[in-house]
Amino acid sequence: MTTAITRSHERRISPVFLAILAVMAVTGWAVWSDFAASTGLAIFLFVTSAWIVSLCLHEYAHARTALHGGDITVGAKGYLTLNPLAYTHAVLSIILPVLFVIMGGIGLPGGAVFIEQGRIRGRWKHSLISAAGPLANVLFAIVCTAPFWLDALDGVPLAFQYALAFLAFLQVTAALLNFLPVPGLDGYGVIEPWLSYKIKRQIEPYAPYGFFVVIALLFVPAVNGAFFDTIDALMRALGVPEVSRYCGSNLYRFWQETPGLCEV
């Protein structure tokens, strides 16, 4: 009986997450209904809270898959409550990605839940645990872009379209960055179980720096250009017009002047 109560508590959705979800819902309604005094501020709050929700879902996907893979400790660590404050690296998992959205407008992957790898048996399970997080971003992107590729935008206010387009852009960038086979990112976690012990030992000392190397490379013009060309191609494939994402990004930065093209 006690064990069942404990497990129920470990999997109860955190009030912190529910509060963030409430902010997302209220500000999303404000953007849709044009109720807010400042459309840009409403978009900022809606996209930021939705981005944090997606980060929580990303880490929850890792933890939930690990639980089914054999790591029963994820519940006691609070990873199944969707509470962003329970993550191993709250700064890397939440604060830094949010700051990058505000400053650079890309979905930055973060480091978060600690999985006890020794409890997981089987290479496929290890790979699936790593892939689960970015796959959550992919699913979030599909939901955000559904009105675009389903041609179901009739009646959807322009401001809301722009907000969805920018939010989808963040999800696509996060998924692409996370799937890079770079030590420290989920993409490397997917292939690591299939590497030889010797190769893993050689790579291990560099793993803590992989994340920062990727960020540094994005400042290299050629790499930056190739990266955003890929993102643009993916967004077009999802039916999102470039102007929608551009306007969403500009309206999100409500403290800057809004281009005439994006006025709503």
Q: Which residues are catalytic?
A: 59
Angstrom distances, CA of residue 126 to CA of 82, 150, 188, 190: 21, 35, 11, 7
The torsion angles phi and psi of 170, rounded to 5 degrees, stand at: -65, -40
Distance in angstroms (rounded) separating the CA atoms of residues 157 and 147: 12
Closest C-alpha among 70, 165, 72 to residue 120: 70
Q: Which amino acid is at 144?
A: C
Burial track 153-183 (b if 16+ CB lie within 10 A, e otherwise): eeeeebbbbbbbbbbbbbbbbbbbbbbbebb
Do 127 and 189 form a contact (C-beta atoms < 8 A)? yes
Burial of 88 (0-12, 13-18, 19+ CB in 10 A): middle
Q: How far apart are CA 144 and CA 167, in angstroms?
A: 7
